[in-house]
């Protein structure tokens, strides 16, 4: 049975979804997950308080990518008897960032205007679990993240999302490549967005935000790496970062900006 959207006070978002002849949304809203939708790094949440061997406690070393480090850490947890239900409960209980429930409520009321996608270097299992627990999964048209699922032993396996040639991004994921391919795909569907709106926090969100145009808006979490990198870019090369920049401490500030955007009808 489908779980409805009561977790964040949303009206049912399944009704009328995908109706034939519906006009394409006017805005594409792109979200990160860790420390953006949720107020923690979900990998840290899963590993917190676990008895890990010394190499895993020290983090990625010797050319090992972070994605590969987490693959090994999750495999270790499974071998130690940590079951799927326990991991799911961890993801479900990660707190949402301040203002995210209010932002989701706003987007639920204006579903026809905003197309939502999520691009995250976390994993599909954890993201799906949290969004469903929050009653917000149906808001998102697409989730791009590292594939994750349980094998026959009940071990959560993790893979890389893709390969790419971007020198700025980790080897398993370039969000700029994902966003560019998605926009090209949607253009083939005749979905041309008036603006792209990007909400994130991390250094790997700076790379895709750099492809935004002057019509678009970047919403970096205030004081986090994405925000600092944008500021540094603007200081070193004024005008190189084209999008409008709206830092936020509470995602309710994002909702208020979007409300004003709708009032201006642009």
The residue from 32, 190, 205, 216 that is catalytic is 32
What is the signed CA dihedral for 58, 62, 67, 71, rounded to 10 degrees? -70
For tokens 């050319």, the residue is 63
Determine the Cα–Cα distance for residues 134 and 72; give it in Å rounded to an integer. Answer: 28
**Residue 205 among known ligand-binding residues:** no
Low-confidence ranges of the chain (pLDDT < 70): 1-24, 62-63, 265-266
Task: Parse the chain into domains and list their residue ranges.
Answer: 27-39+95-264
Question: Is 34 labeled as catalytic in the residue annotation?
Answer: yes
Assess contact for 55 and 68: CB atoms under 8 A.
Answer: no
The residue from 34, 44, 190, 216 that is catalytic is 34
**Residue 216 among known ligand-binding residues:** no
Q: Residue 208: which of 139, 118, 132 has the closest Cα? A: 118
User: 176-194: b or e for each residue (b if 16 or more CB lie within 10 Å)?
Assistant: bbbbeebbeebeeeebebe
**Residue 44 among known ligand-binding residues:** no
Instruction: Specify burial of residue 68 (Cβ count, 10 A radius: 0-12, 13-18, 19+).
Output: middle
Q: Residue 114: which of 235, 192, 27, 239 has the closest Cα? A: 27
Determine the Cα–Cα distance for residues 170 and 66; give it in Å rounded to an integer. Answer: 8
27-39+95-264 CATH choice from 3.40.50.300, 1.20.140.10, 3.40.50.1000, 3.40.50.800? 3.40.50.1000
Q: Using the 8-state DSSP alphabet, how is residue 221 labeled?
A: B
Question: Is 189 labeled as catalytic in the residue annotation?
Answer: no
Share of the chain above pLDDT 70, in %: 89
| pTM reported for the whole predicted model | 0.89
Instruction: Give the pLDDT score at 265.
Output: 67
Q: Residue 64: which of 52, 74, 55 has the closest Cα? A: 55
Q: Residue 105: which of 135, 72, 149 has the closest Cα? A: 135
């Amino acid at each position: 049975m489908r779980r409805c959207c009561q977790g964040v006070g949303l009206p049912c978002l399944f009704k009328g979804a995908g109706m034939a002849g519906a006009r394409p949304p006017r805005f594409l809203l792109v979200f990160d997950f860790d420390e953006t939708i949720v107020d923690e790094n979900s990998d840290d949440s899963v590993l917190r308080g676990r008895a890990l061997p010394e190499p895993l406690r020290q983090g990625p070393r010797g050319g090992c990518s972070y994605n590969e480090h987490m693959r090994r850490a999750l495999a270790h947890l499974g071998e130690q008897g940590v079951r799927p239900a326990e991991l799911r409960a961890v993801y479900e209980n990660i707190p949402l960032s301040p203002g995210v429930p209010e932002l989701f409520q706003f987007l639920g009321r204006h579903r026809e205007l905003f197309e939502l996608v999520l691009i995250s270097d976390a994993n599909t299992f954890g993201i799906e679990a949290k969004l469903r627990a929050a009653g917000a999964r149906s808001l998102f048209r697409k989730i791009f993240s590292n594939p994750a699922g349980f094998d026959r032993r009940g071990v959560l396996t993790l893979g890389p999302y893709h390969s790419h040639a971007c020198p700025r991004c980790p080897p398993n994921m370039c969000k700029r490549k994902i966003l560019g391919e998605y926009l090209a795909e949607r253009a083939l569907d005749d979905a041309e967005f008036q603006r792209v709106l990007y909400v994130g926090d991390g250094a790997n969100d700076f790379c895709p935000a750099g492809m935004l145009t002057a019509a678009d808006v970047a919403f970096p979490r205030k004081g986090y790496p994405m925000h600092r990198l944008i500021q540094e870019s603007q200081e070193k090369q004024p005008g190189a970062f084209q999008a409008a920049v709206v830092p936020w401490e509470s995602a309710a500030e994002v909702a208020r900006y979007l409300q004003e955007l709708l009032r201006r009808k642009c």
